[in-house]
Structure 1
């Protein structure tokens, strides 16, 4: 009965996404993911924290913003540069683009 009397709350953009999309975003936001930097430093499961491109550590910021190996996929999803903050915390459209990018890049975060 109490549940019926409570006012309905509107769901934010993050909570309207699928469970898989939410998990990917949380992992990217927090840094607790399966990218080399975290897997090497925290669990010693990756031989090196460095990305396959060899330029810097494989972090969420690196793969979303700068990794040269993912330039084509990044330009398909975001034709013009977008700040990292928008990619991880923006509108539903931006969050959807981020999860699409992760999927099209073949990354498991």
Structure 2
């Protein structure tokens, strides 16, 4: 659907928000985040394990690819509001 906390979304639906990537790229897109952004370079290997070219069709076309994308997002914080890696919440407190 294109919804997300990135410049590509903001340019269409929240024009008052900055569309630049924190790395300095003028227009932050899904492609830039997944394939090019130096901010996510250290975690991109998770995607490359299932698709050398980081093809969304390949990644989203298999369970292994979806798991890799989930791991990439959790580890890198890509596509999240604050850009922070995902942290598991503790169990219930009694």
TM-score (norm 2): 0.67
Corresponding residue pairs, total: 77
Are 1:34 and 2:2 counterparts?
no
- The separation in 1 between residues aligned to 2:73 and 2:16, in whole angstroms, is 21
Structure 1: gaps of 5 or more residues: 1-29
**Greater per-residue helix proportion:** 1
Structure 2: gaps of 5 or more residues: 82-94
Match of 2:56 among 84, 94, 104: 84
- The separation in 1 between residues aligned to 2:65 and 2:24, in whole angstroms, is 28
Which residue of structure 1 aligns with residue 33 of structure 2? 63
Q: Moved runs in structure 1, 4+ residues, more than 4 A?
A: none
Q: Using CA pairs under 8 Å that are at least 6 residues apart, name the structure with larger relative contact order, 1 or 2.
A: 1
TM-score (norm 1): 0.59
Offset, 1:65 = 1.4
Max radius of gyration: which structure? Answer: 1
